[in-house]
Amino acid sequence: MTLLRRSLLAALIVPALAHAAANVDAPAPAFTATTADGKTVSLADYKGKTVVLEWTNHDCPYVKKHYGSGNMQSQQKAAASQGVVWLQVISSAPGQQGHVDGATAQKLNTDRGAVPTATLLDPKGEIGKAYGAQTTPHMYVIRPDGTLAYKGGIDSLATADKNDIGKAEPYVTQALVAVSSGRKVDKASTRPYGCSIKYAS
């Protein structure tokens, strides 16, 4: 029954996604997805809260840069303490780098000490394509009213070198500060950097 409902939901939502686009200050594309722990969540569920989307692929060297250094985890913890919802999204297609099942996704986070609110499994790449997500990591910040506040890189230095994290301008952190104080995000759209998302081709 739930399966039926879920597929019906998916059937309804997919066409809606196809023509949406993630533009700053426009409503962020709606989505419904299955999480790593088997729940179904929608963006609409988080209305009234700031939401961060983080596209990830645990084997990508640029993702490793930010998890290996603890940068991503500390940003997730800081967000959680401010009531910000942090959603990891895995859009790798089956058979591609970074594709994992729910249990593996949860274990990876436990091992890394990562604390996202939830991990969304998007093996068909529907959410990824709706947002135009290109890289891992690729970051989006959505305001409590559902509009997109920020999209782009996690920071300003497009390298895989951990030593650069300290020197980089932390775009996502800056965006979250601006959103929480109701200001406009200074750099609202930046170049995302990282590995290409391994969509089905």
Partner 1 sequence: MSSFLRPAFLLALLAAPLLALAAPPEAATEHVQARLVASHATVAPGQRFTVALEQNIKSHWHTYWLNPGDSGQATSIAWTGTEAGPIQWPTPSVQAIGPLVNYGYEGRPALLVELTVPADAKPGGRFQPGAEVRWLVCKDVCIPEQVTLGLDLPVAAEAKPGPDAAQIEEWRGAIPKPAPFAVQVKAAPRGVQLSGPTAGVSKAYFFAETWGAVAHSAPQALKAEAGGWTLDIPAGDEPVPAGKPLAGVITLMTPAGPQAWTISVAMPAGAGKGPGPADLNAPVAEAAPPAAPQSDLGLLSALAMALAGGLILNLMPCVFPVLSIKALALVREGNHKAEGLAYTAGVLASFAVLAGVLIALRTGGQQVGWGFQFHSPVFVLMVAYLLFLVGLSLSGLFAIGGSFTGVGSALAARQGLAGSFFTGVLAAVVATPCTAPFMGAALAYALSQPAAVMLAVFLALGLGLALPFLILAFWPAAQRWLPRPGAWMDRFKQALAFPMYAAVVWLLWVLAQQTGPDGVALALCGLVLIAFGLWWRHSSGASAVGTGVALASVVLALGLSVWIKPVAADVRSAGDASTEAYSATRLAELRAQNKPVFVNMTASWCISCLVNERVALSRPEVKAAFAQAGVAYLKGDWTREDPAITAVLKAHGRSGVPLYLYYAPGAAAAEVLPQILTPGLVIEAVSPPTAPRSST
Is the torsion defined by CA of 84, 108, 37, 54 positive or negative? positive
**Cα 165–170–173 angle (5° rounding)?**
130
In the block, residue with structure tokens 């959505």:
142
Site for partner 1 in 45-104 (CB under 8 A): 59-62, 93, 96-97
User: Nearest distance from residue 115's CB to partner 1, in Å?
Assistant: 26
Nearer to partner 1, 6 or 39 (CB): 6
Nearer to partner 1, 46 or 131 (CB): 131
Which segment (40-48, 72-80, 107-115, 152-160) binds partner 1 by CB under 8 A? 152-160
Site for partner 1 in 158-197 (CB under 8 A): 158-161, 189, 191-197
* End-to-end CA gap in the chain: 31
Q: Is 156 in the site for partner 1 (CB under 8 A)?
A: no
Burial class (CB in 10 A: 0-12, 13-18, 19+), 2: exposed
Q: Is 10 in the site for partner 1 (CB under 8 A)?
A: no
Size of the site for partner 1 (CB under 8 A): 39
Nearer to partner 1, 76 or 135 (CB): 135
Please tell me the chain's helix, strand, coil percentages from 3-state DSSP, rounded to the nearest 5.
Answer: 35, 20, 45
